């Protein structure tokens, strides 16, 4: 007999296995093994007639959740059940947060072990931590389970109740969510601020000064004893300085005249101020500060940060990455201080151990901050890490080490220079003692902000001494609109408003992107017109759901449930079934809301509205009693849709498309247009073409992905219209080899044989040698090289990441699984790959006459925006008292476990609610 230990992932299992005795068997649950049904197909046949089954929550019976084991998790459950048969003790070693507690509870409920059960938790995966955790096992905490279950049910109720209303009143396929809608509101409000912003312009002077054979710069600050205007003095709604504000506003000519006058004057030092300053290091990382700093310094999204941190944790390199505590254990303090001594010496060590206190309400001080794991804390180089794992671990290591280093000492100096009636100011900074700067300097959200360890040294100056002005340059400045949110600043805003919890920030940001409410351009998170329309409806009719204070209060309720201070069911009853409960509100709003009143934007005085339709956003306006609609570019940020741009689009609609130019031979106009199937170029007007004859359909060619209709040049368009290109004769038979664009994209062909071009090939530039190489490949197959090896499959064999014709995919044996668009090929984990492969394997149709119809049904019922399966689905419920745990959570009654029904009908993709 043996002891069975269950964790979430194979990586974590492999790491823990090294630290346990030989009679311990470690298996992975692959995240949650069951969840609320994701579609009608997962609802058990006997419950399909029940109205509440669509929700997956029986609101009339104590909010009893319906849990099902998805098809891709059945094998996991079978394997765990088989492993349990030879065990004499079960140890549930899932993560130490609420979700980990929930996974442990679900495992216990599904496996129904008849042997002793223990709950083991640890903050880091090291030999010492695992062995210590084995001695301190406990029972499942039913309060934590109940808090997680309440959150799961609450999110399901909001998503599945409000989303159908959005389909009817705005557009099909939209979704609402308790937390996502509040986050979207923040982004929309910032974009609205940008729309209402008016830029102001001002000038000043920058002087290049020389003293003691050194040069430095100084800025004009006062003129005639009055402060010079800066960007902060302008009213953002007008772009002007408010009346009554006593500042000097320089225009361009005034700045030029002032420059000429001051260059003739005598420059001298009016005042010198110096002071010393000490800087203390920032606290060690929490989940939120790690996400912020990784975004600022490494350009990593919140999702990427958490994926990489998860891998580092599971390999035993860092402590648990979901924490809101900045506490460091005594052992960690000792290890870090020893590292400082070894690497930097006694002078760089803080006089006493420096401990930090968590400011956030409800922080779990029993947890530790994120730091390198273990008693040695090796560097990234010593661990032989690479890529993003190296960069993130290095950031964590440096931040932790800096916490026990001496303060940095700076000398700050400010010099005021006088010339006639003007004053200039220069600031300097010198690092007297770098202290913790040697290891780590915190970043800033403002990309132009200087880092603390950067020096600006001024020469030794004394009051009254003359200086030379070597140059005096007028400088123009324009005030800038409020910056759009980045991952870092949105995480900061979510945390300050109490929206979600640090462990959920990455999921929130990913979800609003996956749902099409936000697009990412560079580092900016830009809300779409769809986000504006949905936010308009939510603010008008469900203001409480998008109120940040309400969202924060919900999080406090969940914290209270987790601590045993309140119960989940009474809160759910009040929220959903109360007099002003969500269920009644939605039923009333379904009658009350007029879809014609819901829009993304209303632009006055142009009397134009932006609406959302099945094919995207469009402008709508009235022209002589008729409603006219003009499609908007999908990628246009709402903040950039100014009056001038709207007028341009309206003129374009009235006047028709403007040609890029005319074909040099036929003289026909050449257009770049966008149709239902994407952008294309066209030769001739619709209905007539000199090439094809009067009344014939004009020649059209789709644009390759590397060309955009708004930037394509006339010569490029003509080259596309002249496709296919003759690349030359084939060396074997002398027949022509051609390159062109067809129904399935760019290709090369020879004697009836076609091969598709890859993403890196340009149909207008590809040559004969490359075409011959493609044609030499076996039809239907391309030379595909493994991008990287992800790890071993539990059943044996390597899982690889490849780049295919239709994008990246993972492969094990003969099973290939494409990566979803929202999943980064660069950061996909072994666990994610296993989930994709398992899902693909489960979807393979049976080899019978019904296989064809099965495939057809599956393709139609797979929603575009269906919730993605992750290694940690958020679901929880209560613990069974007979297993030795705490009392069962109050928010559950009888629990049901069911499997997917093959014969059940699946809903249309437009009717799958989103949470």
Catalytic residues: 320
Residue 516 neighbours by CB under 8 Å, 6+ apart: 528, 530, 865
Please state at what angle helix 180-195 crosses helix 529-541, rounded to 10 degrees. 110
Bridge partner residues of 725 (DSSP): 739
Tokens of 615: 């094919």
Which residues are CB-contacts of 408 (< 8 A; sequence separation ≥ 6)?
Answer: 278, 279, 431, 433, 434, 435, 436, 437, 452, 453
Q: Phi and psi at residue 268, in whole multiples of 5°?
A: -150, 165
Q: Give the β-pairing of 699-702 and 693-694.
A: unpaired
Rounded to an integer, what distance in angstroms lies between the CA atom of residue 794 and that of residue 621? 60
Whether the CB-CB separation of 436 and 317 falls below 8 Å is answered with no
Measured from the Cβ of residue 74, the count of other Cβ atoms closer than 10 Å reads: 15
3-class secondary structure, 127: helix
Give the whole-angstrom CA distance, residue 424 versus residue 104: 66
Q: For the stretch 470-497, what's the b/e string if a residue is b when 16 or more beta carbons lie within 10 angstroms of its beta carbon?
A: eebebeeeebebeebbbbbbbbbbbbeb
Distances (CA, A) of 247 to 223, 233, 830: 9, 8, 61
What Rg value do the Cα atoms of the chain yield, rounded?
32
Question: Do residues 727 and 766 touch, judged by C-beta distance below 8 A?
Answer: yes
CA 564 to chain centre: 33
Write the CA distances from 123 to 127, 317, 365, integer angstroms: 12, 11, 12
Contact in structure between 169 and 163 (CB atoms under 8 Å): no
How far apart are alpha carbons 530 and 72 in whole angstroms? Answer: 33
Whether the CB-CB separation of 552 and 493 falls below 8 Å is answered with no
Rounded to whole angstroms, how far apart are CA atoms 659 and 601? 30
**Burial of 726 per CB tally in 10 Å (0-12, 13-18, 19+):** exposed
Joined tokens for residue 226:
């009055």
C-alpha dist (Å) from residue 714 to 687, 706, 904: 21, 16, 54
Q: How far apart are CA 319 and CA 124, in angstroms?
A: 4
CA–CA separation, 17 vs 662, rounded Å? 71
- 771, two tokens: 């075409």
Alpha carbons 768 and 770: distance in angstroms, whole number: 6
The phi, psi pair for 546, rounded to 5°, reads -105, 5
Q: Is 255 helix (H, G, I), strand (E, B) or coil?
A: helix
User: Would you say 914 and 515 are in contact if contact means Cβ atoms under 8 Å apart?
Assistant: yes
Task: Count the Cβ atoms, other than its own, within 10 Å of residue 800.
Answer: 18
DSSP type of residue 710: T
Peptide bond into 605 cis (omega under 30): yes
Residue 812 bridge partners (DSSP): 815
Burial 338-376 (b: 16+ CB within 10 A, else e): ebbeeebeeebbbeeebebebebeebbeebbbbbbbbee
CA 457, distance to chain mean position in Å, is 40
Rounded distance, CA 546 to CA 176, Å? 10
Going from the C-alpha of 540 to that of each of 243, 535, 579, 675, 756, the distances in angstroms are 35, 8, 19, 34, 50
């Amino acid at each position: 007999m043996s002891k069975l230990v269950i964790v979430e992932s194979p990586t974590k299992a492999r790491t823990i296995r090294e630290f346990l005795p030989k009679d311990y068997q470690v298996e992975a649950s692959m995240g949650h093994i069951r969840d609320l049904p994701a579609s009608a197909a997962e609802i058990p046949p006997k419950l399909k007639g029940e109205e509440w089954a669509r929700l997956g929550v029986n609101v009339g019976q104590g909010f009893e959740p319906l849990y099902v084991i998805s098809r891709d998790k059945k094998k996991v459950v079978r394997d765990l059940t088989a492993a349990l048969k030879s065990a004499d003790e079960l140890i549930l070693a899932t993560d130490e947060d609420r979700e980990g507690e929930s996974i442990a509870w679900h495992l216990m409920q599904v496996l129904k072990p008849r042997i002793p059960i223990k709950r083991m938790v640890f903050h880091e995966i090291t030999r010492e931590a695992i062995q210590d955790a084995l001695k301190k096992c406990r029972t499942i905490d039913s309060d934590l389970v109940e808090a997680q279950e309440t959150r799961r049910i609450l999110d399901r109720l909001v998503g599945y109740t409000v989303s159908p209303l959005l389909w009817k009143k705005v557009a099909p396929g939209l979704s609402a969510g308790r937390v996502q809608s509040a986050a979207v509101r923040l982004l929309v409000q910032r974009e609205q601020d940008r729309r209402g912003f008016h830029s102001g312009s001002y000038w000043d002077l920058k002087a290049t000064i020389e003293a003691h054979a050194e040069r430095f710069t100084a800025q004009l600050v006062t003129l005639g004893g009055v402060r010079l205007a800066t960007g902060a003095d302008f009213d953002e709604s007008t772009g002007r300085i408010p009346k009554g504000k006593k500042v000097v506003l320089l225009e361009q000519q005034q700045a030029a005249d002032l420059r000429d006058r001051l260059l003739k004057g005598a420059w001298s030092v009016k005042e010198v101020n110096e002071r010393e300053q000490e800087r203390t290091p920032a606290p060690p990382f929490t989940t939120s500060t790690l996400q912020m700093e990784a975004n600022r310094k490494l350009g990593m999204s919140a999702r990427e940060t958490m994926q990489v941190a998860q891998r580092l944790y599971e390999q035993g390199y860092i402590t648990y990455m979901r924490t809101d505590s900045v506490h460091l254990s005594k052992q960690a303090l000792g290890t870090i201080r020893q590292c400082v001594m070894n690497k930097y010496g006694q002078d760089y060590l803080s006089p006493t151990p420096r401990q930090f206190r968590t400011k956030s309400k409800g922080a779990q001080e029993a947890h530790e901050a994120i730091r390198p794991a273990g008693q040695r804390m090796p560097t990234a180089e010593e661990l032989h890490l690479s890529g993003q794992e190296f960069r993130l671990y290095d950031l964590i290591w440096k931040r932790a080490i800096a916490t026990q280093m001496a303060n940095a000492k700076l000398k700050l100096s400010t010099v005021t220079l006088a010339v006639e009636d003007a004053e200039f100011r220069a600031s300097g900074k010198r690092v007297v003692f770098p202290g913790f700067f040697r290891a780590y300097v915190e970043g800033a959200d403002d990309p132009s902000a200087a880092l603390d360890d950067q020096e600006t040294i001024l020469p030794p100056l004394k009051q009254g001494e003359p200086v030379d002005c070597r140059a005096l340059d007028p400088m123009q400045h324009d005030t800038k609109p409020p910056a759009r949110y980045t991952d870092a600043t949105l995480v900061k805003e979510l945390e300050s408003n109490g929206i979600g919890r640090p462990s959920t920030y990455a999921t929130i940001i990913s979800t609003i992107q996956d749902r099409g409410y936000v697009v990412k351009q560079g580092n900016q998170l830009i809300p779409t017109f769809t986000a504006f329309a949905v936010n308009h409806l939510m603010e008008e009719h469900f203001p409480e759901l998008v109120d940040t204070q309400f969202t924060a209060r919900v999080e406090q309720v969940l914290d209270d449930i987790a601590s045993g201070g309140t119960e989940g069911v009474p809160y759910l009853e009040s929220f959903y079934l109360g007099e002003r409960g969500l269920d009644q509100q939605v039923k009333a709003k379904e009658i009350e809301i007029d879809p014609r009143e819901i829009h993304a934007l209303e632009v006055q005085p142009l009397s134009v509205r932006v609406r959302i339709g099945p094919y995207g956003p469009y402008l709508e306006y009235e022209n002589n009693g008729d409603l006219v609609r003009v499609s908007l570019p999908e990628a246009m940020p709402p903040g950039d849709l100014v009056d001038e741009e709207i007028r341009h689009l309206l003129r374009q609609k009235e006047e028709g498309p403007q040609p890029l130019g005319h074909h040099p031979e036929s003289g026909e106009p050449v257009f770049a247009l966008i149709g239902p199937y994407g952008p294309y170029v066209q030769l001739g007007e619709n209905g007539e073409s000199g090439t094809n004859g009067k009344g014939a359909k004009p020649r059209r060619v789709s644009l390759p992905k590397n060309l955009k209709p708004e930037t394509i040049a006339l010569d490029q368009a003509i080259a596309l219209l002249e496709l296919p290109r003759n690349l030359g004769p084939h060396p074997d038979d002398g027949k022509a080899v051609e390159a062109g664009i067809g129904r399935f994209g760019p290709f090369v062909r020879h004697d009836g044989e076609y091969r598709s071009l890859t993403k890196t090939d340009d149909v207008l530039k590809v040559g004969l040698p490359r075409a011959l190489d493609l044609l030499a490949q076996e039809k239907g197959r391309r030379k595909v090289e493994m991008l990287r090896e992800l790890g071993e499959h539990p059943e044996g064999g390597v899982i690889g990441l490849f780049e295919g014709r239709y994008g990246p995919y993972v492969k094990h044996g003969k099973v290939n699984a494409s990566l979803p668009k929202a999943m980064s090929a660069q950061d996909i984990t072994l666990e994610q790959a296993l989930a994709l492969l398992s899902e693909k394997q489960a979807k393979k149709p049976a080899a019978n006459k019904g296989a064809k119809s099965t495939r057809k049904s599956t393709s139609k019922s797979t929603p575009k925006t269906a919730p993605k399966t992750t290694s940690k689905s958020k679901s929880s419920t209560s613990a069974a008292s007979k297993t030795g745990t705490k009392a069962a959570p109050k928010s559950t009654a009888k629990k049901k476990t069911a499997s997917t029904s093959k014969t059940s009908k699946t809903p249309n993709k437009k009717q799958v609610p989103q949470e």
